[in-house]
């Protein structure tokens, strides 16, 4: 019956209560833009940046409780007294508040229970129960246990769940993949054929696995009740290549017992050096939660005392990811100030440009200057991991976080370049130099297939997806339409000629990667709506006549998937189904769809008008929008993100773009 629901969604659309004149419509949009921009300007930090919360599922809080137990072992009486006992209690309560009626936990709002999130939540809360006053009620715990078993038990969990549990003796070591530190000594720079976030996780984890002392739980607590008696502990046999890698894993485990000690010692020293080097000029290793957590555990495994500066700094950066207000406690997987600042600046700049020469309210140029000055100070000037494959490139670009100089990313760099097209710094000559370096760097980071990836070029050695610890679905950093679209849009708008070889190579990548239904896959935003709007923006400025059929197909697809309330929404389930899956309308995804239509020249069709109406009618009196869904992507099918400013600056950008068009566009 799904086709009936789809047909109804297409036919049953939002109809305004009364027909507006064009002047009335423009006045409503102007008011929405004014209150939206004023709300965003009020959120600007004194330094000039914007910085919204970035949140995810309960696995972060669950892992935090396990991390605290790993660092602070029970005393001789079996009692557990971690210094962060209050935070452990808050983390447990935060987890339990998000339990689903069926007893499980999901990895995105509205999603089904998921085995890893549920197993980790149950285990974390059971361990937290060893602290007085935190003991969970039996009924929710029983429902959670039953849900884990129904989902396949611990044996069905992914590698990282099994590895984390094995470090505490909660899962058999032989059933968890080995991550050997010798990987840093492997010939051919194999480490750099993995994605940047994977290598930043694996290197410290390899140290922990290699030398950490056995850990125990308070009073010997175990979670054997999560194991299905009939399931095996062996690694899953996905195909022939995976079976080969399983044999390699067995060989590694044998090596751990009988291998040459001097080789292992050398590997650990090199892994330590690699890890410490990448904690310089950054807010923690990789500036992301898992690698930061494992780096702390690795330093402690290496015998670093608590007051050693590298360990002190690592703990400080990790704790800075916590959002804590009264009883509210939640971890961020990272912080996003560069990303938020660039998109805020671009949206406000687009509005300012559209209102130039008018008497209507416009954003303050001073706020954009402060933002530009701040962004210039964050340019990366040192070579990072990307230089392994691009050694001759002059360093530039921007990272996602406040400081992460080993890992600037292409997407942030493109977005900052777009923002600097509007935001003018106090020193125009300095800005011009920075922009020139950034353009050269981003062009040099193009992969051989014509696309751009997030952190590396030509990071596409697919055989690595078969290794036993690759089931987090993020072993590689392949090129993708969403980043490629943003890069082309930025390069053309910042002066690179459309005829440039990099631009035309990128256009061909986009044309080849369009889905059969007319959409494009979105790797870093959920999902096809995100990829499609960015691909359309690129093809409009650089595609020429050859791109028109692709543009027409994409526009037809956007109109086809509009929700009946006039907005657009897409579920994270689309990643698992490999096709668009409708979700509740959201402010950010509606804005992306409207931006995609605008890029194709459509600002006045019925679909575009309904999308604008949805944004106008769902805006709150304070100028902001509500949004409960996760529309950002960390690892497809594994980890999703909620950017708390997406709901505000993307609608502003969409409405400013519609208003700036003056209603010009096709009416089909």
Query: How is 258-291 classified by DSSP, letter by letter?
Result: HS-HHHHHHHHHHHHHHHHHTTTTBSSGGGSHHH
8 Å CB contact between 91 and 65: yes
Q: β-pairing, 322-325 with 328-331?
A: antiparallel
pLDDT value of residue 599: 97
What digits encode the pLDDT tens for the residues 216-240? 999 899 999 999 987 665 555 555 5
Alpha carbon distances (Å) from 642 to 53, 296, 365, 417, 623: 8, 26, 29, 24, 19
Domain ranges of the chain: 34-54+335-660, 55-329
- Work out the average pLDDT over 137-158: 95
Choose from 310-324, 356-370, 450-464 the range with maximum mean pLDDT: 310-324
Which residues participate in catalysis according to the annotation? 411
Q: Which tokens in the block code for residue 444?
A: 């040099």
Place of tokens 């340019």: 379
**Distance (Å, whole) CA 368 – CA 372:** 6
pLDDT value of residue 365: 86
Domains 34-54+335-660 and 55-329 share a fold: yes
State the pLDDT confidence band at 360, using cuts at 50, 70 and 90.
low
Whether residue 7 has pLDDT greater than 50? no
Query: Which of the residue ranges 199-208, 469-478, 558-567 would you say has the lowest mean pLDDT?
Result: 469-478
Neighbour-count burial of 498, counting CB atoms closer than 10 A to its CB (0-12 exposed, 13-18 middle, 19+ buried): middle
> DSSP state, 635?
E
Q: Distance between alpha carbon 160 and the CA centroid of its chain, in Å? A: 18
pLDDT value of residue 11: 39
DSSP-H helix ranges across 600-643 = 606-618
Alpha carbon distances (Å) from 432 to 114, 436, 441, 497: 49, 6, 14, 17
Torsion of CA 380, 386, 392, 397, to 10 degrees: -30
CB count within 10 Å of CB 27 equals 12
What digits encode the pLDDT tens for the residues 119-133? 999 999 999 987 655
8 Å CB contact between 83 and 409: no
Alpha carbon distances (Å) from 288 to 295, 557, 603: 11, 35, 39
Select from 156, 57, 158 the least CA-distant residue to 473. 158
> What H or E segment, with its residue span, contains residue 641?
strand 639-643
State the pLDDT confidence band at 243, using cuts at 50, 70 and 90.
low
Mean predicted lDDT score pLDDT of the chain: 90
Percentage of the residues of the chain whose pLDDT score is greater than 70 = 89
- Work out the average pLDDT over 475-486: 96
**Distance (Å, whole) CA 365 – CA 363:** 6
Look up the CATH number of domain 55-329.
Answer: 1.50.10.20
- Work out the average pLDDT over 144-150: 97
Whether residue 411 has pLDDT greater than 50? yes
What digits encode the pLDDT tens for the residues 509-559? 999 999 999 999 999 999 999 999 999 999 999 999 999 999 999 999 999
Look up the CATH number of domain 34-54+335-660.
Answer: 1.50.10.20
Q: What is the radius of gyration, based on Cα positions, of the chain?
A: 25
Using DSSP's 3-state secondary structure scheme, residue 459 falls into: strand
């Amino acid at each position: 019956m799904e086709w009936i629901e789809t047909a109804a969604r297409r036919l049953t659309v939002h109809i305004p209560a009364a027909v507006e004149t064009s002047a009335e419509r423009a006045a409503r949009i102007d008011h929405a833009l004014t209150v939206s921009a004023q709300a965003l300007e009020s959120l600007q930090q004194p330094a000039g940046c914007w910085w919204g919360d970035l949140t995810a599922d309960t696995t972060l809080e669950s892992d935090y409780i396990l991390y605290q137990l790993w660092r602070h072992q029970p005393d001789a009486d079996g009692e557990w007294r971690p210094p962060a006992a209050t935070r452990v209690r808050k983390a447990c309560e935060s987890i339990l508040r998000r339990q689903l009626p069926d007893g499980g936990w999901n990895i995105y709002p509205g999603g089904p229970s998921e085995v890893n999130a549920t197993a980790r939540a149950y285990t974390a809360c059971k361990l937290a129960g060893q602290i007085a006053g935190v003991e969970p009620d039996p009924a929710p715990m029983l429902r959670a246990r039953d849900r884990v078993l129904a989902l396949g038990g611990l044996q069905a969990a992914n590698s990282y769940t099994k590895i984390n549990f094995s470090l505490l003796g909660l899962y058999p070591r032989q059933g968890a993949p080995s991550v050997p530190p010798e990987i840093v000594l492997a010939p051919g720079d194999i480490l750099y054929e993995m994605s940047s976030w994977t290598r930043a996780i694996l290197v410290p984890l390899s140290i922990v696995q290699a030398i950490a002392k056995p850990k125990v739980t308070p009073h010997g607590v175990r979670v054997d009740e999560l194991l299905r008696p009939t399931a095996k502990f062996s690694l899953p046999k996905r195909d022939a290549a995976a079976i080969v890698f399983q044999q390699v894993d067995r060989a590694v485990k044998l090596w751990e017992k009988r291998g040459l000690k001097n080789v292992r010692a050398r590997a650990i020293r090199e892994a330590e050096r690699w890890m410490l080097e990448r904690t310089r000029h950054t807010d923690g290793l990789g500036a992301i939660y898992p690698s930061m957590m494992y780096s702390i555990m690795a330093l402690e495994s290496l015998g670093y005392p608590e007051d050693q500066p590298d360990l002190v700094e690592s703990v400080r950066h990790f704790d800075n990811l916590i959002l804590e207000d009264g009883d509210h406690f939640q971890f961020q997987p990272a912080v996003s100030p560069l990303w938020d600042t660039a998109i805020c600046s671009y949206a406000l700049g687009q509005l300012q440009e559209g209102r130039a020469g008018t008497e209507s309210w416009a954003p303050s140029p001073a706020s954009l200057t402060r933002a530009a000055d701040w962004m210039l100070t964050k340019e990366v000037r040192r070579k990072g991991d990307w230089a392994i494959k691009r050694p001759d490139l002059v360093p530039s670009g921007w990272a996602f976080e406040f400081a992460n100089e080993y890992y600037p990313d292409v997407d942030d760099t493109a977005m900052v370049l777009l923002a600097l097209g509007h935001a003018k710094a106090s020193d125009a000559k300095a800005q011009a130099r920075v922009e020139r370096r950034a353009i050269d760097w981003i062009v040099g980071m193009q992969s051989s297939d014509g696309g751009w990836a997030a952190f590396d070029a030509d990071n596409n050695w697919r055989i690595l997806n078969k290794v036993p610890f690759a089931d987090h679905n993020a072993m590689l950093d392949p090129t993708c339409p969403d980043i490629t679209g943003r890069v082309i849009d930025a390069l053309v708008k910042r002066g690179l000629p459309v005829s440039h070889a990099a631009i035309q190579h990128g256009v061909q990548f986009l044309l080849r990667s369009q889905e059969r239904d007319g959409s494009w896959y979105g790797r870093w935003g959920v999902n096809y709506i995100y990829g499609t709007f960015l691909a359309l923006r690129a093809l409009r400025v650089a595609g020429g006549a050859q791109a028109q059929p692709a543009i027409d197909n994409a526009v037809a697809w956007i109109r086809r998937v509009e929700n009946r309330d006039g907005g657009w929404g897409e579920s994270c389930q689309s990643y698992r189904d490999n096709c668009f899956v409708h979700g509740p309308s959201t402010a950010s995804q509606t804005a992306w769809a409207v931006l995609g239509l605008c890029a194709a020249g459509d600002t006045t069709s019925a679909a575009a008008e309904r999308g604008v109406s949805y944004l106008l009618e769902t805006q709150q009196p304070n100028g902001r929008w509500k949004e409960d869904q996760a529309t950002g992507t960390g690892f497809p099918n594994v980890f999703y993100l909620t950017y708390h400013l997406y709901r505000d600056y993307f609608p502003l950008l969409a409405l400013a773009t519609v208003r700036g068009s003056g209603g010009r566009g096709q009416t089909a």
